[in-house]
Structure 1
Amino acid sequence: MSHADLITLPRLLSRLPRLLVDLPGIVKGLHIGNRSRGAYPASLARCVETAARENPEGVALIQDDEQLSYAELDRWSNQLAHYLRAHGLCQGDSAALMFENRFELLAAVIACAKLGAVSALINSSQRGRVLAHSIGLAAPRMVLVGEELLEAFNEVAGDTALPDDARFYFADRPTWRDPGEAPRGWLHPAATLQDYPVEAPVLERAVRADDPCFFIYTSGTTGLPKAVVFNHGRFLKGYGAFGFAAVRLGRKDRMYVSLPFYHGTAMVVCWGSVLAGQSALIMVRKFSASRFWEEVQQHRATAFGYVGELCRYLLDQPPHPGDTNNPIRVMVGNGLRPSLWQAFKQRFAVERVIELYASSEGNVGFTNLLNLDNTVGFSPYPYAIVRYDQEHEAPLRENGCLQRVAKGETGLLLGKITDKTPFHGYTDARDTERCILRDVFEPGDAWFNTGDLMRDMGFRHAQFVDRLGDTFRWKGENVSTTQVEAVLDSIEHISETVVYGVEIAGTNGRAGMACVRLNCAAEDFDFHALLGQLRLALPAYAIPLFLRLSAQMETTGTFKHKKAPLKEQGFDPQCCSDPLYAWLPGTERYIPLTHELHAAILTGTYRY
């Protein structure tokens, strides 16, 4: 990692003029977040109602040729809230929401918030046992299902224990003006919604900041998902911190969001920023790299949200003379790798990159307020980056206490658990307790273990390095998958890389393996030159011993690589249909890995 990325005082001072201009918004945003805790009356619904009151005719939502004003969205959500209450949804209940990205999903989230009910944001790609598990975690009073996910629900309907009068159907069309028809046995809210009041429902007790707003599910790439409790106060923190302090949209702005809204980046960061600016949200059903910029131009988007490998997929598209001639001035999200940062900004002429670090369950976050390169930015919350022992998979203690890293060093990120930065955890109390470290710096203190390795950049800035599960140990050394991926990604004809550790019988630790997507035929790729370049850029222990050539990488719904299946298949030709290559001890190039060669490696013929 380059020391040029570290935050120096001159680099910080160069941003001071811009910071002074933005200071009123930053102060307002932090004030909203700081007061939105405990019993303070705060609700996602109030954010919508404020926009509807102050900018009623402003465009709130856009999808394809459809759009709704803030007044129309608020009125629709009020009617849906009254309908759901009339059918048994009470304050404190939960409702499972099964929709792809469409207006009905947001209307349902608002309606639940107006009732003080919790929205369980079901991952639209889940099926079978995983889907039934996710619904069960929420213990919902009812389920709202879009036509596009009806088949998925029907497959697990018998496992949910939800009666027929707790199942509500929404046709795959603009149901606020064309309700369509419901299948036999399903309740059909859109057909009778016009009979319900357009005013907001009155509650016995106002929704408070510490009331749960929705459940967001972990991706489940390494097991069954966990349901994260996300309360109204945390939504207000995102609304304030991103909407007023960081992204700073106005009524003329339009944000293009092709991320799934069952994920916090879309639901909280992007939509929260839009609501704060009383701007328009361009809600895209599914991400398409080939249509992205065309749709940005079509809808006159001035901002967009990103996550994971989305920016890489846009860079992989063939260059176009009009790449710099687009209306985007700000992008917000997480997962823009340092190896892509400058190339993306320059090719698409983006002024501001609001990279962030946060997790659905976490109590600490960073935001790139100052538009610095290659950093997740600054955190106003109490945190620590501490030394971590990879071999024993635990933070290092000296005299009973953990030790902070020095500037430029990498360690485990912890968020201090306080009244202002609580850790609400998961629906399962055992999962919650596993993520808490106690007696960290003094007796009785408690810190949330993020499970992420971060680099201290100085001046309370940080750089994301790796998930702990992604860093592995080989030859007594720690190998950062992110570092190896960055080197491989810089090599000609390599378009995308996933690095992970695999076990070799008779050795300690895990050997490096890289799943690589080429933009040329394998026979045209120079494997000899590849090894030479890796030797120049990486220490010997970090060079992958095995390669897997894949035509397409498997990702989660939020564009993060799925490593678990790759680790399980390892370098076994019987488990993997992709071409495999190996670097044998004492040789100068990668060669095809055959069944015979695989057997020889396992029996110790080649000593690693």
Structure 2
Amino acid sequence: MSDTITWGMMLRKLPTIAKAIPRVVKGMKVANVKDPTQPCGLGWSFEQATLRNPDGFALLQDEVLLTYTQVNQWANRIAHHLISQGIGKGDVVAVFIENRPELLVTILAVAKVGAISALLNTSQTRDTLAHSLNLVAPVAIIVGEELVLAFSAVRERVSIPATHTWFVADRDTFSYPGISPDRFVNLMMACADAPDDNPASSQQVFFDDTCFYIYTSGTTGLPKAGVFKHGRWMRSAASFGMIALDMQPQDVVYCTLPLYHATGLCVCWGSAISGASGFAIRRKFSASQFWNDVRKYQATTLGYVGELCRYLVDQPVSADDDKHGVTKMIGNGLRPGAWREFKTRFGVSHICELYAASDGNIGFTNILNFDNTIGFSLMSWELVAYDHDSGAPIRNAKGLMSKVAKGGQGLLLAKIDDKAPLDGYTDPQKTEKVVLHDVFAKGDRYFNTGDLLRNIGFGHAQFVDRLGDTYRWKGENVSTTEVENILLKHPNICEAVAYGVEIRNTNGRAGMAAITPAESLATLDFSELLSFARQQMPAYAVPLFLRVKVKMETTGTFKYQKTRLKDEAFDPGKTGDDPIYAWLPGTQTYVQVTGEVLADIHAGKYRY
């Protein structure tokens, strides 16, 4: 296929490879901490960056511009206060703050203590939020003013003492701590007089200590807490910041991604810390203000997901599109169809597409700047044949798995060994479910990523799709089981099957659900149903399409036939007597999909 990498293409990259070798060697040395007594991780790395660039800007948002020294001392004050309140190494501190400097300073402080930040998804509410908290048994929580209502709704379901329920005002608290509500302790006020020197605890954090819990959707329908250790932080920050991007103190990363996810927090912020570079953030992504922000912060590097890039490409063309200082960008999910257009229109010379999973043990990076690839990985990996219905890898007559040929697509498996350990989840049983044994030889172990990749040569791969019971939309992983469970709470729905479907010229898969009414189609009020879904689940998880079925077909083992449902998607010409309904952008109800509506969706009339 056209994206296959040839010998000629590799030869043309020799000057790039030669130039990169010194920093690759240095980066690999920094990334691969072996000594169990060597201090490392987030807190230690930030302290090293502060020594390297004390007066350079570390965090930038709106009018708030903080240097490395200011951020480091601020985090130190919080860390000393947490220690004085009995928070110690290995304790879990839940963090529930939207994208702003206070979120990162708080996470940094917790890391310096040696405690573990449970990074709550700020879209979570009700049962999902209570589950996420109770899953990790936090001894404390730090809540932003903007999320107090969401936390208060589940507060009685979580065992956290009021003395360890800290509040952070929704303002520039570096200048003024604000006023906290009843039953909350104002964190910034409480730590104002604490020492601002580096706590001794930051020298007692080692590569095998846990830094964060990052939540990921699971097939159980509720989030799982992935373990992210400080050693992995070092590998991530050095691999992306030093080896892939060659970040320097004069660089500034602009990131609008949610910082409770690994791409924003570990890849983007880690890259900035690795280079002692600036990190500019925004509360929520804005396509219309994106390039104005880039110019305002004098950004040189962008953090992205594919959906973000598509929104920018969809903006009206401007003479200023390439008038900025950005030369490189790092992220994932940029589709081949938008790759070249983005690169040429906005004048970004290096798209460092990556592949990584917060709960996995492998990463790919497009260091050599080829188009349409996630790059290569220094870790051991294979693509294997899989069952298209179940998504499970296929074993041959010998009980082993079969590798796919170059150019073919297969299920990505990553070898688990000393070079690439699997940290897994807080629940060992959940971890064991993603480990495959005796894959190519007796005794070997591999992590099942659940993702389809294509081998395009010279160790490079292309991302194809996700398997299993999650799909990706708006840069978020959506659990089909969670969507199904919420829909089944509706009194007029007795069966629900959720899945992802493709809409032309969009990234990821949009949510769709096949539903069976409890009584009849006439009992469904589609405006009320949409309102119910929007109240109960995050915006990105609300199904954009509904298929109403009198009876749900199942397999011989009583599993829903999701493969067929996905294939027929929202085309009424393929769904027989089952009517299809769509939530069109800007409307407040689901409308029936006719041939005309379908044609308008395919033609891009509606901007999803």
Shift of 1:213: 0.2
Q: Report the Cα distance in structure 1 between the residues aligned to 2:586 and 2:432, rounded to whole angstroms.
A: 34
| Aligned with 1:551 (options 569, 572, 584) | 584
Counterpart AA for 2:427? D
The TM-score normalised by the length of structure 1 is 0.81
Instruction: Quote the residue 1:510 is aligned against.
Output: 564
- 1:2-401 matched pairs, under 5 angstroms: 3-35=1-33, 40-203=38-201, 206-219=204-217, 223-398=221-396, 399-401=398-400
Q: 1:338 to 1:389 in 2, by over 3 A?
A: same
Instruction: Quote the residue 2:413 is aligned against.
Output: 414
Shift of 1:192: 3.6
Shift of 1:513: 4.3
Q: Report the Cα distance in structure 2 between the residues aligned to 1:219 and 1:412, rounded to whole angstroms.
A: 19
Contact preservation (8 Å) 1:29, 1:239:
no
Shift of 1:582: 6.0
Q: How many residues align?
A: 527
The TM-score normalised by the length of structure 2 is 0.81
Shift of 1:515: 6.0
Contact preservation (8 Å) 1:29, 1:242:
no
Q: Report the Cα distance in structure 2 between the residues aligned to 1:374 and 1:553, rounded to whole angstroms.
A: 33
Q: 1:404 to 1:497 in 2, by over 3 A?
A: closer
Contact preservation (8 Å) 1:547, 1:582:
no
Instruction: Provide, for residues 4-46 of structure 1, a one-character-per-residue CA deviation record: whole Å limited to 9, x for no partner.
Output: 1011111111111112112211121122222257554322111
Instruction: Provide, for residues 72-113 of structure 1, a one-character-per-residue CA deviation record: whole Å limited to 9, x for no partner.
Output: 111111111000111120111010001001111111111111
Counterpart AA for 2:54? P
Q: Name the SS of the counterpart of 1:95 in structure 2.
A: strand
Q: Name the SS of the counterpart of 1:510 in structure 2.
A: helix
Identity of aligned residues (%): 43
- 1:432-511 matched pairs, under 5 angstroms: 432-469=431-468, 485=502, 488-489=504-505, 498=510, 509-511=563-565
Counterpart AA for 1:356? L
Q: Report the Cα distance in structure 1 between the residues aligned to 2:391 and 2:449, rounded to whole angstroms.
A: 14
Instruction: Quote the residue 1:600 is aligned against.
Output: none
Instruction: Quote the residue 1:428 is aligned against.
Output: 427
Q: Report the Cα distance in structure 2 between the residues aligned to 1:364 and 1:129, rounded to whole angstroms.
A: 32
Instruction: Quote the residue 1:577 is aligned against.
Output: 590
RMSD: 3.0
Q: Name the SS of the counterpart of 1:295 in structure 2.
A: helix
Shift of 1:175: 1.4
Counterpart AA for 1:416? K
Q: 1:579 to 1:323 in 2, by over 3 A?
A: farther
Shift of 1:264: 0.2
Instruction: Provide, for residues 429-448 of structure 1, a one-character-per-residue CA deviation record: whole Å limited to 9, x for no partner.
Output: 11111000000011111110
Counterpart AA for 1:423? L
Instruction: Provide, for residues 330-375 of structure 1, a one-character-per-residue CA deviation record: whole Å limited to 9, x for no partner.
Output: 1100010111111111111110000000000110110000010110
Shift of 1:301: 1.2
Q: Report the Cα distance in structure 1 between the residues aligned to 2:80 and 2:442, rounded to whole angstroms.
A: 50
Shift of 1:458: 1.2
Q: 1:286 to 1:278 in 2, by over 3 A?
A: same
Contact preservation (8 Å) 2:113, 2:202:
no
Counterpart AA for 1:426? Y
Q: Report the Cα distance in structure 1 between the residues aligned to 2:412 and 2:507, rounded to whole angstroms.
A: 30
Contact preservation (8 Å) 1:171, 1:180:
yes
Q: 1:142 to 1:506 in 2, by over 3 A?
A: closer
Q: Name the SS of the counterpart of 1:60 in structure 2.
A: strand
Q: Report the Cα distance in structure 1 between the residues aligned to 2:86 and 2:553, rounded to whole angstroms.
A: 61
Shift of 1:233: 0.6
Shift of 1:551: 3.1
Instruction: Quote the residue 2:492 is aligned against.
Output: none
Q: Report the Cα distance in structure 2 between the residues aligned to 1:470 and 1:12, rounded to whole angstroms.
A: 38
Q: Report the Cα distance in structure 1 between the residues aligned to 2:349 and 2:219, rounded to whole angstroms.
A: 34
Q: 1:315 to 1:100 in 2, by over 3 A?
A: same
Q: Report the Cα distance in structure 2 between the residues aligned to 1:375 and 1:92, rounded to whole angstroms.
A: 38
Shift of 1:324: 1.9
Contact preservation (8 Å) 1:498, 1:514:
no
Q: Name the SS of the counterpart of 2:121 in structure 1.
A: coil
Q: 1:402 to 1:30 in 2, by over 3 A?
A: same
Q: Quick check: 57-66 or 290-299, which moved more?
A: 290-299
Q: Name the SS of the counterpart of 1:5 in structure 2.
A: coil
Q: Report the Cα distance in structure 2 between the residues aligned to 1:276 and 1:590, rounded to whole angstroms.
A: 48
Counterpart AA for 2:152? N
Counterpart AA for 2:441? E
Contact preservation (8 Å) 2:306, 2:507:
no
Q: Report the Cα distance in structure 1 between the residues aligned to 2:507 and 2:52, rounded to whole angstroms.
A: 47
Q: Report the Cα distance in structure 1 between the residues aligned to 2:379 and 2:321, rounded to whole angstroms.
A: 38
Q: 1:471 to 1:63 in 2, by over 3 A?
A: closer
Q: Report the Cα distance in structure 2 between the residues aligned to 1:499 and 1:183, rounded to whole angstroms.
A: 38
Counterpart AA for 1:409? G
Q: Report the Cα distance in structure 1 between the residues aligned to 2:204 and 2:35, rounded to whole angstroms.
A: 14
Q: Report the Cα distance in structure 2 between the residues aligned to 1:124 and 1:211, rounded to whole angstroms.
A: 25
Q: 1:213 to 1:154 in 2, by over 3 A?
A: same
Instruction: Provide, for residues 379-407 of structure 1, a one-character-per-residue CA deviation record: whole Å limited to 9, x for no partner.
Output: 00011111112145321222121111111
Contact preservation (8 Å) 1:36, 1:42:
no
Shift of 1:471: 11
Q: Report the Cα distance in structure 1 between the residues aligned to 2:469 and 2:187, rounded to whole angstroms.
A: 45
Q: Report the Cα distance in structure 1 between the residues aligned to 2:187 and 2:282, rounded to whole angstroms.
A: 24
In the alignment, structure 1 segments of 5+ residues that lack a partner are 473-480, 517-526, 532-540, 555-574, 584-588, 593-608
Shift of 1:162: 1.1
Q: Quick check: 216-225 or 41-50, which moved more?
A: 216-225
Shift of 1:184: 2.1
In the alignment, structure 2 segments of 5+ residues that lack a partner are 472-498, 515-546, 555-560, 601-608
